[in-house]
Amino acid sequence: MIPAIHQAGPCFRDRVVALFPPVPSVDVVDETFLAVPPEVVAAAFAPPAAWTRFWPDLTLDVYADRGAQGLRWTVAGALVGTMEVWLEPVLDGTLLHYFLRADLPGDASDQRIRREVRHRQLAAKEVSLGLKMILEAGRPPGVPPVLP
């Protein structure tokens, strides 16, 4: 018989928390297909000025520049955590994967967290669809993308 966590004592609880750390309060995942090569999408994310345009309230610091596979950042400012753009070659284009795992600084109510998650979900889609409109501009549906 496995003892209940509350009966097992603090040492057992500490090990459980160490094995399963708390989940960030803002956990956003988004995917969008762009009919352009990953190198083209990577170039759109490469300049730090683009980061300020996409996420004006976040301070980003690159901890992994993966070239045509994307970027990973630490996040500060309005949120504290990590963010990643992973660019996966798929068919004749790129599947843009976006991950944001962060917390609001200080104590935040459940309502504020829900609003922030929804805001970040919509912002992620705005970035990816905005890039899709720009990078695919002039390409008729069904026609392969122009290679750089």
Calpha distance 21→57 (Å, rounded): 26
Which tens digits make up the pLDDT trace of 6-33?
555 556 656 655 566 677 889 999 999 9
Percent of the chain with pLDDT over 70: 83
pLDDT above 50 for 1 = no
Question: What is the pTM (predicted TM-score) of this model?
Answer: 0.81
User: What's the CATH code, domain 24-135?
Assistant: 3.30.530.20
- As beta bridge partners, residue 89 has 94
- The secondary structure of 31-78 as a DSSP string is EEEESS-HHHHHHHHSSHHHHHHH-TTEEEEEEEE-GGGEEEEEEEES
> pLDDT grade, residue 51 (50/70/90)?
very high
**Cβ neighbour number for residue 28 with a 10 Å cutoff:** 21
